[in-house]
Amino acid sequence: MELDHVEAFLAIARSGGFARGSAALHLSQPATSRRIKLLETELGTPLFDRLGRGVSLTEAGRAFLPHAQALLASMRDGIDAVSAVRGTGHGTVTLALVGTLASAGLTARLSRLRQAHPGLDLRLRTALSTEVSALVLRGDAALGLRYGTDPSPGLVSVVIHHERLIPVCPPGTPWPPAGRRDPVPQQLRGGAETSMTGWRGEFAAGVGGRGAELGGV
């Protein structure tokens, strides 16, 4: 199986079309189509359903997707491992993170990392929590920082920080909210963990959309 065929498959799966996938690979559309055709012939089944101007994955394509992502990620890890053995100190590391996690503390740590490894090409990609997980799963990022753990079997999630959240309301906001004696979600009692997204939804529902916000400390 040719690696460039797998790269073409992933590019089309991400972009949802042959034209956009070809542009991402800097290839002509006929060249990309040929790579997919050869891959489908090798696997013995179509990987895409052609839908007008776009495409969608077939059942076989959905089954192949995580393995293709793992294959490409493994190849990148192999290249980095060889660079480490050679002692070149060069390599690319992509960190995917939720934008609100880019605190002064994090940027200071990343700065020290760059100073310790001047040949390191450190790249940052901001995304939502679910997108951070997706970037790591498909090998587009080596590491992710997101809110909450991810139970996906293809990921290892470790809690490294707890963030204190404080509800902030405009003057005159009824509190506690009408019809609710306890404005604090039950899962927050006793130090239980919850995601920022889940708590935000609970709080917004409680105040009835009166312009309330959450402030992180």
Q: Give the up-direction half-sphere exposure of residue 100: CA atoms within 13 A in the CB hemisphere.
A: 11
Confidence of residue 38 (pLDDT cuts 50, 70, 90): very high
pLDDT over 70 percentage in the chain: 73
pTM of the model: 0.51
Task: Find the helix or strand (DSSP H, E) in which 168 lies.
Answer: strand 165-168
Confidence of residue 217 (pLDDT cuts 50, 70, 90): very low
- Please give the domain boundaries of the chain with CATH numbers for all domains: 3-66 (1.10.10.10), 89-161 (3.40.190.10), 165-216 (no CATH)
Give yes or no for residue 48 having a pLDDT over 80.
yes
More confident residue, 216 or 64: 64
User: Could you report the per-residue pLDDT of 113-172, keeping only the tens digit for each?
Assistant: 878 877 777 888 888 988 898 888 877 888 899 988 888 877 888 888 887 777 777 777
Mean pLDDT in residue range 1-6: 87
